[in-house]
């Protein structure tokens, strides 16, 4: 199985801040990387696919980059609804593994 | 707008079989380019991919669950289902169904709201 490791596991920030979350794969996954946001008690929501493609309807303050084994999710100008947990997922091979999650909290 | 809805018992006894159905509206499970997936999340923990099926019935399962999992599709009802046998307390989780866009890139673009299944006697 491909292991996905996110860092940090938790992060405190303020409204208006810029934050970056990283995701590292245990082997090269090309650009088969997605990012999801999960608010408490809700299903995950797709933000980014193919490492850097913004899903339709997702605000442009979200962006993704990387390829191979190292990836980043950047959120510019944090909004109150962005405080949630973020997951990366590889779709290069099955089983499709997720990172352990990064919880973004209000400072 | 594609919508998915999980249904099934919220309580299952240990050693029994967990059975869930995902009903799809606004799209067809028999249309190509999509896989139909199950993911679960134990309380307070992260996401675990269970497996998926595509329109011609091909399946892929997480090896950690493969001996206990069956995913099937019923095109006449526009549904797909999950069966997980010999459950234990470790299978207690919120179970999500999702559409996996499978043309070129693979990503879970539509999700059900999730259903909590508790394994307890």
| pLDDT value, residue A53 | 96
| pLDDT value, residue B64 | 95
Count of CB atoms situated within 10 Å of the CB of B80: 26
Contact B6, B101 (CB under 8 A): no
Between A and B, how many CB-CB pairs are < 8 A? 63
Reduced 3-state DSSP string for chain B: CCEEEEECCCEECCCCCEEEEEEEECCCCCCCCEEEEEEEECCCCCCEEEEEEECCCCEEECCCCCCCEEEEEECCCCEEEEEECCCCHHHCEEEEEEEEECCCCCEEEEECCCEEEEECC
Digit-coded pLDDT (tens) for A30-74: 999 999 999 999 999 999 999 999 999 999 999 999 999 999 999
B107 to A46: CB separation less than 8 angstroms, yes or no = yes
| pLDDT value, residue B55 | 67
| pLDDT value, residue B49 | 97
Exposed/middle/buried for residue A107 (C-beta within 10 Å: 0-12, 13-18, 19+): exposed
Show pLDDT as tens, one digit a residue, over chain B (121 residues): 999 999 999 999 999 999 999 999 999 888 778 999 999 999 999 999 999 998 678 899 999 998 999 999 999 999 999 999 999 999 999 999 999 997 788 999 999 999 999 999 9
| pLDDT value, residue B104 | 80
Name the 3-class secondary structure at A75. Answer: strand
Q: Which residue does chain B place closest to A30, by CA atoms?
A: B105
Contact A48, A64 (CB under 8 A): yes
For chain A, what is the mean pLDDT? Answer: 97
Interface test with A, best of B35, B47, B53, B96 (most A CBs within 10 A): B47
Q: Is the pLDDT of residue A86 over 70?
A: yes
| pLDDT value, residue B3 | 97
Interface test with A, best of B107, B108, B113 (most A CBs within 10 A): B107
Residues 62-101 of B with CB under 8 A from A: 62-64, 96, 98, 100-101
Contact B79, B85 (CB under 8 A): no
A49 to B109: CB separation less than 8 angstroms, yes or no = yes
| pLDDT value, residue A67 | 97
| CA–CA min distance A51, chain B (Å) | 10
A97 to B49: CB separation less than 8 angstroms, yes or no = yes
């Amino acid at each position: 199985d491909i292991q996905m490791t996110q860092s940090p596991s938790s992060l405190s920030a303020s409204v208006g801040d810029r934050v970056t979350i990283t995701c590292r794969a245990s082997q090269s996954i090309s650009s088969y990387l997605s990012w999801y946001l999960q608010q408490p008690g809700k299903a995950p929501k797709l933000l980014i696919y193919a490492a850097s493609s913004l899903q339709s309807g997702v605000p442009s303050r979200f962006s993704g980059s990387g390829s191979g084994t190292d990836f980043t999710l950047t959120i510019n100008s944090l909004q109150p609804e962005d405080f949630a947990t973020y997951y990366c997922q590889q779709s290069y091979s099955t089983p499709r593994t997720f990172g352990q999650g990064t919880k973004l909290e209000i400072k | 707008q594609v919508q998915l809805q999980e249904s099934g018992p919220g309580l299952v006894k240990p050693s029994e079989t967990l059975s869930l159905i995902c009903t799809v509206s606004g799209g067809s499970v028999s249309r190509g380019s999509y896989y139909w997936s199950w993911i679960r999340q134990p309380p307070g923990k992260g996401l675990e991919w269970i497996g998926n099926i595509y329109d011609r019935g091909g399946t892929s399962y997480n090896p950690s669950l493969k001996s206990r999992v069956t995913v099937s599709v019923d095109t006449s009802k526009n549904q797909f289902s999950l069966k997980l046998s010999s459950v234990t307390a470790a299978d207690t989780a919120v179970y999500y169904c999702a559409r996996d866009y499978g043309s070129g890139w693979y990503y879970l673009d539509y999700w059900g709201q999730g259903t909590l299944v508790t394994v307890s006697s």
